[in-house]
Chain A
Amino acid sequence: GESVGLHLPTLSVQEGDNSIINCAYSNSASDYFIWYKQESGKGPQFIIDIRSNMDKRQGQRVTVLLNKTVKHLSLQIAATQPGDSAVYFCAENRYTGRRALTFGSGTRLQVQP
């Protein structure tokens, strides 16, 4: 199949371990942040989002942390599974003005069985 990101930073983890994927953003005016998962040959898939007035949000096996002081976002995946292997992108947006997502650079997650 197609490869979404041939030269992306890669995080390799063992199945069952926890994964932490990091993202630095630049726009301090963003209202919310989103993590997307993109498997080879597919479009991005929404994972979880967080408003800018929050610092943590949990979903099913995933936690997003937001540090506005250093403009840093992270995605934690608990008990990583082979199906989690993909490229992960962070994105930011605002509730007003331009509606489009601004994507950051991606990270490839490889889960070793």
Chain B
Amino acid sequence: ETGVTQSPTHLIKTRGQQVTLRCSSQSGHNTVSWYQQALGQGPQFIFQYYREEENGRGNFPPRFSGLQFPNYSSELNVNALELDDSALYLCASSLGASGGNIQYFGAGTRLSVL
């Protein structure tokens, strides 16, 4: 086990709603990255938080936002849900924000938007 936990495991929402996904990082890790993985695709980088600050962002609209807390756990918020937001959302924690750091993934939250 990686020690990275995500909640909830599954979620069903309707178009236009808002959702919050949560991630607890591995003990000692100060960095959390979030990814969206559509069926049959590789994970797409959404953003990274390092010591409570956004440290990098992929090509996702502003309705995807996040937070990192002092204990380094993190939230991903998605507003105005669209059907295409249906995917597996993964968080990964690492010790440091360098690209060379190994990322440890949680089991993900599977979001379905109807």
Partners in one complex: no
The interface of chain A, by Cβ under 8 A from chain B, is none
